[in-house]
Amino acid sequence: MTLEQVNRRAGGRRRYNFQREMIARARRAKVRVLLTTYGHKSRGVQARMARELKVSEATISRDVQSLIHPLGHPSARHKSDPS
């Protein structure tokens, strides 16, 4: 593989990953609005949001967690992390 091919593939991956990140950010903004509309304590809210946004419940669950814990879940942090 030539250096040009390597660079083109890397550029394609960066572009693809950037597009996915922008889609995820837009979806999380919608999730934030829906959470304020429906509340997050009620039963079935995440399933309802998943249906509305046409994504899986697991995706909504990850989005909600990322909104609640923007730096990652506290229990998932490395033990040497002082915070």
Among 51-55, 57-61, 66-70, 75-79, the minimum mean pLDDT is found in: 75-79
Q: Angle at which helices 3-38 and 45-53 pack, to 10 degrees?
A: 130
Q: Model confidence over 5-27: pLDDT tens digits? A: 999 999 999 999 999 999 999 99
- CA 56/CA 36 separation, integer angstroms: 20
Q: Is the dihedral of CA 30, 54, 37, 66 positive or negative?
A: negative
> What are the helix (H) ranges across the chain?
3-38, 45-53, 57-68
pTM above 0.95, yes or no: no
